[in-house]
Chains A and B, each alone.
Chain A
């Protein structure tokens, strides 16, 4: 290109430079406008987004039992916790500022991702979590009575040995964060809507 620009009179700022700049901008803008629909088509489609919430009947889940349901293609753990499990979870709670429960003032149990048990449940006996290890996405064990649950009685991830407590908080192993709590609401005492 530079070779031909020489034919224009004067050094910089010729009409030809202006034309090059305008053509290149138009081409860049046009290309971006074309590329966007292609990229966007790979995002979740309308029919996928339409399946983003489910209702679960939890009337049959006894104390100490847990069920796994599928939500957005991922497992959701619903555990009906025993009073001992609730107590164990509360025992390791970090201390929070009473005026603002989001501010942690002390963390005696040394939690990696400190959260109080109360902030992770709506009803203490029902713990609802996305059952995906925050390390690399495996599904932790601990839903069945025969599963290993790790040292803290919660969940144990077989892939790289992450251990979660009875509030689903990360306690040991490589995972960086607590198990995610999905958006949910109790529609009745026995029905919960997830998503």
Chain B
């Protein structure tokens, strides 16, 4: 029996030396330390031996078991060390993915509106918000767009199915953020500087470049002695901060009923640098916003004397900016809630 245990020891030690993988090591463990191993058989058979022999054999067999277990542990560590070496010698595989800790992301419109708001806030404009369902008085009449004015045709309107208000006003979804010009003037006396971000609505069929709901940001500054030079300077400074100092800016005459003189601001096309390309329709310029000196009739509608005060206003469509900035070819994506799109921002 003594001999048998020694043989078992020699055999196990010899075969252990040839082992190079954890799979092999596992087979070795089963063979020499498993339930069906010879060693286990010896240990199980102890009960049948005479008492004296039992003690001696038992001691040797248990001794061997401890030795083999120690060898097994040693070999395991050796194999693990080899495995670590092959992965660069560190203790963990740093290339394995970490445990997920997900952050969501803000919608690209939220990001752009925030960025725009911050720029104007830093120039002393207060950010205010207003109702999205409006009276036609604020959306049109008070802004010098009377009934049957052709300028209304360019702002196709969603009318709300509700009885007229007490003044006979009709309810609609605001077609621009400009109604807040009047609401702010009614509440607050000059000097005032505000910007109004928000949703606006146009009765338009949906396609890759048109959606019935989008965002605008409106600006208004009223004080004594505000000039068109101030308008240009403010909007130029905005463009420098938002689009960068290397983009030229162009101001041309345009018509909006609630301003006079009317202004359109364009920045140099970022793709062709003014040379003309497909993006800018070969003009070299991207139209960014409409602006102008507040029309005297609008000041009057807001209860402000146009002979004493003057001001400027501007308004821009916001979706256009990320469209241009990221080369997005379908405006509907903003409202698709598609994570494959939204996770890119």
The answer on A and B forming one complex is: no
Residues of A within 8 A of B (CB): none
